[in-house]
Amino acid sequence: MAKRKRSSETLPLFDTQDMSASGAPVLEYVLHNRERIQRWASQGIHFGGSSWKYPGWKGIVYNRDYKSQKAFNDQCLAEYSEVFSTVCADFALYDFPDEKQMKLIHDSTSNSFKVSLKVTDRITVKRYPKLHRFGKLAGTENPDFLNVELFEDAFLKPLGELKRKRGAIIFEFSTFYPNSGITRQMFIDLVDSFLSRLPRGYEYAVELRNTDFLTEDYLKMLASNGVAHVLNNWTRMPPIIDQIKIAGVLTSSFSVARALLKPGRSYQEAVKTFQPYDKVKEESPELRMGLVESVRRCIADGKTLYAYVNNRAEGNSPKTIEGILDMLDQYPVEKL
């Protein structure tokens, strides 16, 4: 390589290729990881977070001059999509998406970006939990549980605005306790009937919160419908590193892995421990290895993978993803 000639002029602090479109210097995290994330995305392995509006990521992922918190909330997705290839829109769990919102997400993100969404809990909750946000519905039976028509009209229809950027559609089912009246077999039968009636052409996935529901019959039911099982690290589920070893666990042409919580840790405890999500506070080698093994399996089987890391897993999703990328570099998949 030719040596750079000396000059009497002062050299710039940043090379021109290290400057963003806004003219700001590109952050070290972005420089180190953007190309790696894009390379994995080209192989069908997409890395991202659960949502994106975290001020704690400023100086790591975000470097633009946002004039207010509102401006940050409204505009930071564009900057996020310059680094990561996907995001899981957890906000859809709380209310149905609307077309304007989906169009804005589409228009704000890079060309190859993928948006996965959790299905609104009005579809997936059998009985509304006794939480303040449910108001008068708290503690009552949900008449719209697994309502196909409502799902198609209120959830699927607005997603048309995402076009080719639509990723996985995740049905997250809360824990079914014995007093719910929903047994394992009843759950399998109900979900089978629901999934079999859904329109084709979408990447559907099911996430469990009942360990005893994760059985061979459940996996066969998903496979028969072309639906993915969500590999999840969560309070009362076996960790991803154990789930990925289950025979037949990759039930579709794609998979979803969601690193949410350390098993045994509650959501509230994780929030208290990790806010404001500006750094990794507690590394979890088991969690990271679970995602590494998920990547390996999906590459080996020629499957797409949406790999999502939550801030409440270790304290800072971007840095956890960086650690996983480092592990993949150390033990290249192609050598397996």
Domain residue spans of the chain: 25-335
CB contact at 8 A, 140 and 108:
no
Task: Confirm whether pTM is higher than 0.85.
Answer: yes
What is the architecture, at CATH level 2, of domain 25-335?
Alpha-Beta Barrel (3.20)
CA dist., res. 231 & res. 241, Å (int): 9
pLDDT at 130: 84
pLDDT at 135: 85
- Reported as half-sphere exposure (CB side, CA atoms, 13 A), residue 116 has a value of 31
Q: Which residue has the tokens 């564009």?
A: 78
Please tell me what DSSP assigns to residue 120: P
- DSSP code string of 83-119: T-SEEEEGGGGTS---HHHHHHHHHHS-TT-EEEEEP
- The conformational region for residue 278 under phi > 0 = left, psi -120 to 50 = alpha, else beta, is alpha
Angle (CA) 39 43 47, round 5°:
65
Q: Which residues pair with 117 in a beta bridge?
A: 89, 169
CB contact at 8 A, 257 and 290:
yes
| pLDDT per residue of the chain (336 residues) written in tens, 0 to 9 | 444 443 334 333 333 356 555 556 779 999 999 999 999 999 999 999 999 999 999 999 999 999 999 999 999 999 999 999 999 999 999 999 999 999 999 999 999 999 999 999 999 999 988 888 888 888 889 999 999 999 999 999 999 999 999 999 999 999 999 888 899 999 999 999 999 999 999 999 999 999 999 999 999 999 999 999 999 999 999 999 999 999 999 999 999 999 999 999 999 999 999 999 999 999 999 999 999 999 999 999 999 999 999 999 999 999 999 999 999 999 777 533
CB contact at 8 A, 262 and 285:
no
Angle (CA) 174 52 131, round 5°:
30
Structure tokens at 137: 């519905």
